[in-house]
Each structure stands twice: as C-alpha cells, then as structure tokens.
Amino acid sequence: MNTLSKPPIFRAAVQRLRAWWAAQDERIQMSGRRSLWAALMALVVAVLVTLVWLAGRYEISQLQATLERDTADAVSDIRISLSRDVQTLQALQAQHTSLKTWSAQALGLLRDNRDWLRLEWRDPQMNIKAFVDSPLRKPVFERTPRTDALTETSQSCQRARRFNGPAYSTSYYLPQTDGLGMEVMELCLPQTQEGELVGYTIVTYGLQPLLAERLGNSFGRRNEVSFTEADGTRLAIAGTHRRGLRLFTAQQLVDLPGNTLVLRMDSRRGEPNLFPNVLTALVTAMSIALITVMVLLVKDSRRRLKAERDLADALAFRKAMEDSLVTGLRARDLQGRITYVNPAFCDMVGLPAHALIGRNAPMPYWPPEMVDEYKQRQAIRLAGNVPPREGFESVFMRADGSRFPVLIIEAPLINTQGQQSGWMGAVIDISEQRRIEEVSRAGQERLQATARLATVGEMASLLSHELNQPLAAIASYANGSLNLLKDPDALAQSQDDVHMALRRIAEQAGRAGRVINSVHDFVRRRDQTREAVAPHALIDAILPLVNLQARKLQVNVVTRIEPRLPAVWCDRTMVEQVLLNLARNGMQAMDRPECTGRVLVLQAKRAASNPEQSWVELSVTDVGTGIAPEVAEQLFTPFFTTKAEGMGLGLSLCRTVVEQHGGHLEFEAQASKGTVFRFTLPAAPLDQPSTSAGKA
C-alpha cells in the first residue's frame, strides 16, 4: 500500500515527520557550518597572536643584545683608557726625577684628567715624597687623614711590586667635608731604576667621575651606567635615567690587576613595537586582512540568511493575510486575462482559482444579460482610462446563478521597473450593506415619526412651564381688581387702580401670546426675531412681576446697571423669560426661615471684551443657602428639579436660549453666602436702533 492509499491522518503524520527530519538536517548543517567558521577564525586568531608574540620576543632579544654589546664596549673603553693612564704615569716617572718638576707635571695631568683626585710620589718604604691634589675640587683627604686610608694603598703597592706592574686597590668609601662621600679606587705603579725599586706613583680615582668622564658622553646619554659590587650594591652611578615601561639590564666584569669591578648598564625602553620588521608586519597585515574578509563573509552570510528568512516570513505573512481577507482581490494583465485571485474572491463567486486564472472576457461570473455592457467597460479600462478611486458598483453572478451587488475598486498594477503590467482590483460584496441600508432607512422613518411626537410633547411641556408666570400675573391682577370693586368706600381711587390692573392684564395676555409664538419657534428650531434692546429695558420689563413675588416673600430687589451700556441683540421675549426664571429661582432659594436680610440683585455690566465683538453680562444674585454639590452636577439636566411642583425645564430652557444667542450661562457660589447666575449676550450692531421701552 503506497502513501496515497493510506488514511489522511497517516499521510499527515508522515508529512510532519518528514518536515521534522528536514528541519533537523538543516539545523545540523547550520551547526556544522558555524563550527567550521568558528574553528577557522580561532586558528587565524591563534596564528596572529603567535606572530605578534614572537615579534615582541624578537624585539626584546634585539634590545637586550644591543645592551649587552654596549656594556662590553663600555668595559673595553674603560680598560683602554686605564691602560693609557698607566702609560702616562710611566712617562711621568721617566722624565721627571726632581720634586719640583714632578709636581708641576703632575698638576697638569690632574687638570687634564677630571677623574684623578690625587697624585702621590712615595719612596719604597711608602713615605710620601710629593703629592698634588686635583685643582678642580677640594682635597679628598681634607676630612679623613691620608694615613687612615693607607691600608688599601699599601696592599695595592705590594701587589704591584710582586707583579712588577700596575695594581689597583679595592674601592673604599671616603667621606667629604660637605657631608657626602664618594667611592674611590687607587692605582699603584712601581718605579724602578736599573732593576732597583726607587718608589711608587699612586693615583686616586673617583669611581663616579670615572664613569662620567670615560662613559658619560658615549653610553650615558641613553643608558644608566654604574659600578656595583657582587651583591648588587651600587658604588657609583652615571648617565641618564630614562622613562619607559620595561627595564633592560646587562652586566660585565671589569677585570683589573688586583681588583675586579662589575659594570652594570640599565636601559628603559617602551613596549616592543607591534611590527618590528617588514616580514612580521606583512604576515600580520595579511592575517588582519584575512580576518576582515572572514568577518565580512560571516556578516554577508548572516545578512543573506536573514533576508531569506524575512522573505519567507513576508511571503507566508502575505499568503496568510490574503487568505484571511474578506475582500476579494483580482489581478489582470494588460490584455484582460486574470493572473491572480485570492480565496475570498473564489468564495465570493463560487468558483475555484484554476477555473478563473487565465480567463478573459466573458468572465464566468458575469450575468449573461450584462455581458455586452461589461465587455464595453473592460475595453474602456484596457484602453488606459483610470477608474475613479472611490470605485464603482456592479453585479456579479455566483456559480449557482444567484446575483449579488459588488463594489469594485481598481488601480494600475506597477511592477518593479515602474511600468504598468496590468490592473489590480478589490471586490467587496455589498449585499449585507444594502440590506442594512434598507433596515436603516425604515428605522429612520420610524425615528422621524417618533421625533415629531416628541416635538409635540416638548412644545406642550414648554408652553405649560412658560405660561404659568403670565397667567399667574393675570390671575393676581384680576383678583386685585375684584377686591377693589367690592370696596364701596374706595370707589374714587379704585377706578384708577382697576384701570392700571386691566392694563397689566392686557400686557400679560400679550406676553403670553408672545411666549406661545417664541416657544413654538424655539421648539421648531427656527430663527427667532431678534432686535436691539437696551439692557435696562430687559430688567424694567420683568420688574413688575419680580416685585409682585418679592412683596410676598419679603425680598428687597436691587438693580445695578452700568452706565452707557450698548444694546444687546436678542429675542426680547425669550431673554426676559430667562431673567424672570432666574429671579424667581433666586427668591425661592431665599424663602427659608433661616434667611434674613433677603436681597435680590439684578445687574447688567460689560463683559470681558472680544477683539471682534463686545458682550454684555446680565446676572442675578441671591443670598440664599446656595446649591449642594450633588445638585450642581445635574442642575441644567432637563426634567431634574428639587421642587415638589417644579417641572425641571426652567434652567435647561434658560441655558438653551442663551446658547442660541451665542452666549454662555454659568453659576458660582458667593464668598459669604448665596449664588450668582450670570449669562452673556452679544452687543447689537451699531446701525440697529435700540428699544428702550417695554412692549405692551
């Protein structure tokens, strides 16, 4: 049984196993390549480090060898110069036998040799015959008597007599008068005549001047030269102590007759150069170049692998995104043949991809009755006419013959060379959108009917709220007139009061009519009739009604009007109603037993000016108990009220009226007690005549 005849579950398991083995093989290959690269890089780094280390060791050996040669040359120079000194002393012994001439010649020799400290002529019994100290310094035996230092001298002379030649004493320390001292060494040269010993010539050397004069100019410029003992104790030092990171040292024995000195030469140098010679530099440069190339290759390999992974991920993401789209995608070439469709488009028309790719007009998803129209539209598109960006609507046919509306958005398909290679279209099934639009249209009609009913209810509520005040005033004036007519004793003066009451009744009746018209226009959101009204006229118009309620509640009404205020541009009836509502609310807030000194202030003043338009501020201030925070949050909410008989529309209506005039209604607590309500109204244009008197 082959794989194709096996159950689907088994085939899927086999495919997953193969994929796992392939992934493991690729992982092993990647690990092997990484190991080879790592081994190669480690080998090159090891070779480079070894070469650099060997180069450094070579330079160190070269520096040490150079120092050894310099030390050997310095020892040779000292021996040669000391041999010349012996020859000079022998010439002195041969030429001068008298003390006077010897002293003169010895003084000249001391001037020429700065490292000679003292020159003596002694007899065979070591008695002094003549001596001369160096004229270039103080006498060396000024502090220490010469007799105290004859031990080393006698021993060197005995050796000289035994060798029948020059002999040197061991060095010893000689204190000086300046508190310091120096190491000195003496040369004893026997003097003979006809085989008989007639005396000794003794020279006292200073080891420090000896190094400075004999080696300072040649070797002391770049090294530090010193005489040391066998244990390393330094006897004399000369030369330059140079700074450096590494100290190089060389020692040579100065083998003299009767004495042996150790000459030490120290040299401080910097760290060895990285490239001490051309060959090492070339190999190192090639190694660095090889490592650089390897690093670049590794980076390029990683970059390629990352690009391949990114490309595979991008292709997988694109495929997943195209497969998950609910929008159909369709690509066509310049001849109109379909080159690509996504699964959403196939599901939309009910046809597989292989049945669509490569097809040209007529398409299998075109309704038969619209084939001619669609061919003509496709010909226009292939002619190069760019379709609108917002798309166009069409009708497609599914494989089962059902039709459905679609929205097609097409755009030119541009390749990587920047040339158009076809057309790319997005096809959206708008069947559900059409159904929702129908449902929305029916719902909109129902909402409009409901809105009309709500408007009727709103108008009724506003009329009932706003007509309460003029009707209450009419009732009050009518009751007052009846009371006056029932009193026969006051008939003469009651006629004038009755006439006045009847005029007030007529005014409030007209006001009620205007309220009805204004509320009707307000509910229908029409532009109310506006006029230029003086601020004091608005306050004067409501004062009779305010004073009528103020007398009942024992409230003192105070008006404060700033002089030379501009007229305001407003619907007079509605603004008067706003002022009246705010005044009534303020007086009702003070209708409490604990409120004494009840004062209601009606004020008009200029508001903060605007560069383009001036404003007038109207305010109503009471000294009541104030507004609680929980009430202030919903004070302007429609149908919210704290009064048992209230409807909750007064402040909501006031704010709506003020905002329709372009102003703003707000309130705040007084510093002492009470509340102030203020609102702004725009000033009237200058060419509009203002109305100062109240309307009948």
- Quick one: pLDDT at residue 235? 86
Residues 402, 682: Cα–Cα separation, whole Å: 64
Averaged pLDDT of the chain: 78
State whether residue 304 is helix, strand or coil: helix
**Which distant-in-sequence residues (6+ apart) come within 8 Å of 693 by Cβ?**
537
Per residue in 588-646, pLDDT (tens digit) is 888 888 888 889 999 999 887 665 668 899 999 998 888 888 887 777 777 767 675 66
Per-residue model confidence (pLDDT) at position 419: 79
pLDDT in tens, 363-410: 888 888 888 888 888 787 777 666 666 677 788 888 888 888 888 888
pLDDT tier at 412 (50, 70, 90 boundaries)? confident
Contact 502, 550 (CB under 8 A): no
d(CA 300, CA 293): 10
- Residue-wise pLDDT for 94-113, tens only, equals 876 678 888 888 888 888 88
Which residue(s) pair with 262 in the sheet?
228, 253
Give the list of residues 6+ apart from residue 569 with CB closer than 8 angstroms, or none: 530, 531, 532, 661, 681, 682, 683, 684, 685, 688
Strands 615-621 and 599-606 turn out to be antiparallel
Q: Cβ distance 263 to 89 under 8 Å? A: no
Give residue-wise pLDDT tens across range 288-347: 877 787 788 888 888 888 888 888 778 777 777 777 777 788 888 887 788 888 888 888
**Structure tokens given for 110:** 């001391």
- One-letter amino acid at 540 equals D
- How far apart are the C-alpha atoms of 655 and 686, rounded to whole Å? 26
pTM: 0.39
